[in-house]
């Protein structure tokens, strides 16, 4: 029967565990509430260029053709720049007696053009210049759409090119799941270590083992407390997410199964974190060293996962990170739960935990 250490750990840590549970619930439910705001921002009209309605730009066969509303000017100056600010523009053409021109050279980069009408007197002196308008070879996008096309955006999509902010699945993939491991995993690593090293540093283990409890059972109940807590945290977070999805009208599209499968799919991942944190705790015995080692491993795993997804040449490194085997995008975008990854992480966690038990049974207990 699970009692003793298990119940003692629950009674001893319930305040801290409850506080963090509340934080996790606020995050999981609150992120959903931000989704309508993001969608509205993406649907806002893109800011038009000044006089864009007066200038038309066509790109064909590497050439750019411009035509504009005539102003009965002496001639027109065509300015070009790589940005809409036109701060570094240069004159690329001078058009007389027409309101159309073709720039016969390939444009490989995005370009902005400005048309200026020049009025001269009979002596050829410039009387005035009138801005006609601007055009561009660029398909105008909102800032959010530009963000989604940036190369570094892949770092937060777990390498998936089809993550779209305009849908709740894509929004949660980037804004919640991409860093959920940091939020929950680092906390579990910290309390996993302290739950054991506190007994070492407080010299309570010799007294504890004078009772009829084995080292194996002691460590197993420590592990089970945190495994149980992680499962409760993820289950309740999924339930809160479902309620939040319902409140913003996205539950039918997202689905109850998707919420639970994507969130609870991370449970074995956190079992691995608890397991290697337990291993470091029994090996190093000192809180500072064990906590530092556990957090370092977790952060390195996260960093390798990010870099591997962002840089094609380093994609192979993701094979060796545990985060790769919590494929939340498969659930969110494809509605496919990878049971083999789920079971594989559980087996890995058990292997690491068994190693921790073997080390703990051979270590001397300080009196």
Domain boundaries, the chain: 5-41+148-362, 52-136
CA atoms within 13 A on the CB side of 177: 33
pLDDT reported for residue 255: 92
Residue ranges in the chain assigned as alpha helix (H): 5-43, 143-149, 168-172, 178-180, 186-201, 205-208, 215-247, 251-254, 256-264, 267-284, 287-310, 328-334, 339-362
pLDDT for residue 363: 76
Tokens of 63: 């050439």
Question: For the sheet containing 90-96, what is the strand order?
Answer: 90-96, 75-81, 112-120, 126-136
* pLDDT value at residue 1: 41
pLDDT at 152: 64
Question: Which residue bears the tokens 């750019």?
Answer: 64
Q: Where are the alpha helices (DSSP H) in 44-175?
A: 143-149, 168-172
Give Cα separations from 319 to 44, 138, 325 (angstroms). Answer: 40, 38, 9
| pLDDT for position 151 | 61
Please identify every stretch of the chain with a pLDDT value under 70, giving residue numbers as ranges.
Answer: 1-12, 41-47, 105-108, 139-154, 206, 209-210, 366-367
Pair of tokens at residue 102: 């073709």
Output the pLDDT for position 60: 81
Count of positions (residues) in the chain: 367
CATH class of the structural domain 52-136: mainly beta
Tokens of 58: 């066509």
CA distance to 137, 285, 362, per residue, from 289 (Å): 57, 8, 20
Within 10 A of 100 (CB to CB), how many other CB atoms are there?
Answer: 12
> Residue 101's beta-bridge partner residues?
66
| Closest listed residue to residue 285, CA positions, set 191, 360, 190 | 360
């Amino acid at each position: 029967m699970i009692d003793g250490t298990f119940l003692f750990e629950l009674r001893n840590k319930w305040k801290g565990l409850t506080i963090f549970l509340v934080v996790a619930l606020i995050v999981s439910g609150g992120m959903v509430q931000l989704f309508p705001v993001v969608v509205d921002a993406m649907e806002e009209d893109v800011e038009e260029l000044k006089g864009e309605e007066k200038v038309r730009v066509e790109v064909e066969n590497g050439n750019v053709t411009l035509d504009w509303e005539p102003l009965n000017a002496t001639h027109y100056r065509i300015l070009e720049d790589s940005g809409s600010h036109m701060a570094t523009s240069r004159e690329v053409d001078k058009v007389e007696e027409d309101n159309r021109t073709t720039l016969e050279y390939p444009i490989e980069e995005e370009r902005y053009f400005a048309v200026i009408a020049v009025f001269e007197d009979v002596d050829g002196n410039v009387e005035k210049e009138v801005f006609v308008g601007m055009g561009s070879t660029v398909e105008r996008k909102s800032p959010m759409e530009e963000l989604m096309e940036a190369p570094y955006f892949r770092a937060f999509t777990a390498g998936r090119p089809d993550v779209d902010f305009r849908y709740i699945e894509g929004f949660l993939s980037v804004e919640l799941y991409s860093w959920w491991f940091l939020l929950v995993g680092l906390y579990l690593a910290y309390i996993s270590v302290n739950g054991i090293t506190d007994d070492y540093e407080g010299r309570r283990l010799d007294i504890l083992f004078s009772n009829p409890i084995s080292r194996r059972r002691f460590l197993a109940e420590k592990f089970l407390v945190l495994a149980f807590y992680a499962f409760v945290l993820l289950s309740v977070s999924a339930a809160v997410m479902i309620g939040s999805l319902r409140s913003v009208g996205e539950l039918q599209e997202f689905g109850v199964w998707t919420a639970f499968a994507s969130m609870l799919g991370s449970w074995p991942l956190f079992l691995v974190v608890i397991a290697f944190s337990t291993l470091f705790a029994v090996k190093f015995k000192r809180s500072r060293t064990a906590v530092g080692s556990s957090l370092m491993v977790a952060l390195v795993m996260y960093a390798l996962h990010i870099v591997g997804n962002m840089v094609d040449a380093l994609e192979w490194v993701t094979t060796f990170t545990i985060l790769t085997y919590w494929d939340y995008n498969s659930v969110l975008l494809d509605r496919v739960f990878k049971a083999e990854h789920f079971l594989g992480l559980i087996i890995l966690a058990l292997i690491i935990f068994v190693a921790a038990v073997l080390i703990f049974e051979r270590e001397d207990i300080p009196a």
